[in-house]
Amino acid sequence: MRLTWMQLGVVLTLMVWSAGLVWAQEGPPEGMHMPMMGAMHGKHMGGLQLTDEQKAKMADLRLELQKEIAPLRAKLVALRTDLKLLLIEDNPNMRKIEARQSEISQVQEQISLARVRHQVKVRQMLTPEQRKKFDVFILSGKKGKRGMHKHAGRPGPRMHSPRAPRGK
């Protein structure tokens, strides 16, 4: 039975990895967006009144970020799948589980740093007036449409247990 689980893990890993390559070349499927992409490039940036040249540069930066993040996201999905398989083994090996979780954290950090580098590049291409608006947006902590879907299909904290009643 163990060999079957390993085969399933390999197949899932290859499927996710290949989907990441497609995303990197063609962008995400219709209706799917990269986190922060809606906020950084959607209607919120309309208030900056970007020039055509800036819009073109922004599109190039967006593509650059997608190409960098897509394989990382695919790797993240594969690692999470592998972690789940490790967790459901009859005799879970905590050393392997902790190592896999550490790998997941490292990939998450790589994605986060790629987004930060992207924000810095976007800010550098703006005029001083546009930077002021951009800075206000960044400091406000708004994340656009994706901010509401942080868990992207995974149960969030409130889905695990009902909200605790507040004291009177």
Amino acid at 49: Q
- pLDDT at site 124: 96
Mean pLDDT value across residues 86-109: 97
Prediction pTM value = 0.61
Lowest mean pLDDT among 64-78, 94-108, 146-160: 146-160
Residue in 133, 113, 114 with CA at minimum distance from that of residue 123: 133
Contact predicate 146/38, CB 8 Å: yes
User: How many angstroms separate the CA atoms of 82 and 90, rounded?
Assistant: 15
Domain ranges in the chain are 2-25+34-146
CATH: 2.40.260.10, 3.40.50.800, 1.20.120.1490, 3.20.20.70. Which one for 2-25+34-146? 1.20.120.1490
Average pLDDT, rounded, for the chain: 76
Reported as a pLDDT band with limits 50, 70 and 90, residue 9 is: low
Contact predicate 115/40, CB 8 Å: no
